[in-house]
Chain A
């Protein structure tokens, strides 16, 4: 089945700095990847859809300039949290590959803590 590798698994950064999270498709070509965010004890919320070779599609309320998404190849999508603030601390998860019948595949997630 589809395998998605996400790195880093956890990162701590200082306020004002930027953090890049990588999501790689290991055994399939991903023309589309999805980025979700989960606050403690809450649901997973879709932030944006990254499209290989074109601009990402952001969900309503998600700041494009703050959450930069790049999908330059069929195996790599990245999410960069720019000028991070403590309120950006969250669990970020990417998803790509799979089907509705056999399930869409998720990465292992990245715990971001901004201090």
Chain B
């Protein structure tokens, strides 16, 4: 049962344009959502998060939007840069058992082209 889903396995965007990465979830008990960037053979790097009681959080080039009624969130990166090319994971905190354990989505490979 995949509680967090990223339906786009890959995304290609031109440098300077906006990248939009999407994530859907099924468990209404999740209380925080986090986005991580990951390179092969490395641990994930935190980008931005949002509480389930908010609908938007912004940090520099990164903005996360949460639509709780639709159980959907998205990460916007603008402007996109070649260095943003990586796999992006959406993660949700909470659910069964609670605590700080995270449930990860399947990831989206972002490629920012020159």
Contacts and interface: CB of A to CB of B under 8 A. Distances in A.
A106 B44 contact: yes
B49 A46 contact: no
Nearest to B107: A43
B83 to A, nearest CB: 19
A32 B32 contact: no
Interface of B: 31-32, 34, 36, 41-47, 49, 51, 89, 91, 93, 97, 99-107
Nearest to B57: A101
Secondary structure of the A contact surface, majority rule:
strand
A104 B105 CA distance: 16
A34 B93 CA distance: 13
A32 B32 CA distance: 19
Contacts of B49: 100-103
Contacts of B45: 106
B105 A6 contact: no
Contacts of A36: 104
Contacts of A10: 41
Contacts of B105: 43
A43 B91 CA distance: 10
